[in-house]
Amino acid sequence: MSRERYVAELEQTRSDLLDMGALAGKALTEALGALTKSDRAAVDRVRSLEAEIEAFNKSIYGRCLNLMTLQAPVAGDARLITGILEAIVDLELIGDYANEIAELALGMNSRPVSAALTGLSEAARRVQDMLSQALGSWRRLDRGVSISIRPMQNLVKNDCERLVEKLTTLSATSRDTSAYVGLILICKYLERIARHSVNIAEQAAFAAPSYS
């Protein structure tokens, strides 16, 4: 394979990673809609998106292996391939968590109080922004994004900890605790998605041409 073709394949693989990331972001949005808007049809859409994410994961993984065996990659190519292989793991997990959020929303027997949903929505918006910025870092191979979004992970963690405390108090006075237990689990998933978003941005920083 010529060098020009090899570079084109690398760029196509990075483009596929961005497409996979867009699906993960959409799955998260749909899952949160299933919760905040009681959109039960969104659960099916999340399941379908999760399947697409898994298909992308397998396809990108196979392409990366082929790129590593077709010719010995130079240092920059190796960083890019390694970063992509790491990032798709995080993206697939985000898809899994989005599906878990949707399933929890579907299984709630009652609708949580609006104050609880408002607090959760605020944390979720921050997480969505983190994922969007992380994917943007792959679009531009920007090393600075990982530095800028890492502090946001702590903000999400703090938001979720406060919300869990509030939900625990509310569940103690409720006849049906299933909704509050579900929201507590969703808080944990949002924290994990935030952590994976930071990982994705850091992998883009590792893959950036200016890395040293």
136: domain CATH number?
A: 1.20.58.220
Residue 131 lies inside a defined structural domain of this protein: yes
C-alpha angle 38-177-158 in degrees, rounded to nearest 5: 80
pLDDT confidence bin for 210, thresholds 50/70/90 = low
Q: Which residue segment(s) compose the domain that 82 sits in?
A: 3-207
Position 73, amino acid: P
Instruction: Estimate to the nearest angstrom the gap between the alpha carbon of 129 and the chain centroid.
Output: 10
Residues 195-207 pLDDT 10s:
999 999 999 999 9
Residue 79 lies inside a defined structural domain of this protein: yes
Does the CA dihedral 58-100-123-194 come out positive or negative? Answer: negative
Among residues of the chain, what percentage have pLDDT more than 70? Answer: 95
- What is the per-residue pLDDT for 132? 96
The pTM assigned to this predicted structure is 0.92
- Residue 57: closest CA among 8, 23, 7, 29: 23
pLDDT confidence bin for 212, thresholds 50/70/90 = very low
Residue 152 lies inside a defined structural domain of this protein: yes
| CB 96, CB 26: distance < 8 Å | no
Is the pLDDT at 142 greater than 90? The verdict is no
* DSSP output for 84-143: HHHHHHHHHHHHHHHHHHHHHHHH-SSPPPHHHHHHHHHHHHHHHHHHHHHHHHHHHT-T
Residue 157 lies inside a defined structural domain of this protein: yes
Provide the number of structural domains found in the chain: 1
Residues 114-141 pLDDT 10s:
767 788 888 999 999 999 999 999 999 8
Give the Å distances, CA to CA, from 12 to 67, 144, 203. Answer: 11, 23, 17
Mean pLDDT of 68-93: 91
Residue 212 lies inside a defined structural domain of this protein: no
- What is the per-residue pLDDT for 111? 64
Position 82, amino acid: T
- What is the per-residue pLDDT for 14? 96
